[in-house]
Amino acid sequence: MHLISWNVNGLRACIKKGFEESFAALDGDIFCLQETKLQPGQVELNLPGYRQYWNSAEKKGYSGTAVFSRLEPLRVTYGMGIGAHDHEGRLITLEFPRFYLVCCYTPNAQDGLRRIDYRMQWEDDLQAYLMELDGKKPVVYTGDLNVAHEEIDLKNPGPNRGNAGFSDQERGKMTALLSSGFTDTFRYLYPDRTGAYSWWSYRFHARENNAGWRIDYFIVSDRLRAQIQAAEIYSEIYGSDHCPVGLELTL
């Protein structure tokens, strides 16, 4: 099974930059999007063979997720059932016979960590949600999780220590999640690979210089480790300030 995740930073803009060509080339069985920035009906994608699931933020032009799947899920859930979290379109869960797929766009802590308290509550509630699912069947958790977990996951860890996405608080929550029974698939296969990033600032020629961050993930229940066949970062694909990431899983 081939799974893809991509923060498109505005799907309408990404469509103008070759989204449909990249979608076809990646050929995912399940394709997850974050930061679609769409309201229902604002775009129509013709994706033969795929079922489409959308979760839009109440605020126009903000956040939003989508999942396109060749496989028909048993059930689809939007949000995590907590009112404080479910108005920004950040979570879609697809239940399949043998696993759950969770597509997530994690809230950014913002400059000066203005939103760090909310981010910490999100992380706690999301971990509880994932563990509840994991108690029923294995979980594949993917998306823009807005954190570089370790120093190896960004080009310039020193100057960014304490900034949004590389604060001790956010990194600690990722450590706690992984310690509770989940595996970062890319680091599982490539524990020492450097220069592997999925997001680059639009400033300072960051992408040209590969001065990036790895903040887009596929995380799976530990008991799926033996089924991990490949984990990819498609840095050659443009159209957003993020690139797609992928997972090959035997299920």
Instruction: Kindly list the catalytic residues.
Output: 105, 144
Residue from 201, 182, 97, 171 nearest 142 by CA: 182
Three-state SS at 144: strand
Length of the chain: 251
Sheet holding 139-144, edge to edge: 75-78, 91-95, 100-105, 139-144, 216-221, 182-184
Residue from 150, 146, 156, 140 nearest 190 by CA: 150
Residue from 45, 57, 51 nearest 74 by CA: 51
- The type of residue at 213 is W
204 conformational bin, left if phi > 0, alpha if psi -120 to 50, beta if neither:
left
Burial class (CB in 10 A: 0-12, 13-18, 19+), 11: buried
In angstroms, the CA 57 to CA 74 distance is 24
In angstroms, the CA 7 to CA 64 distance is 10
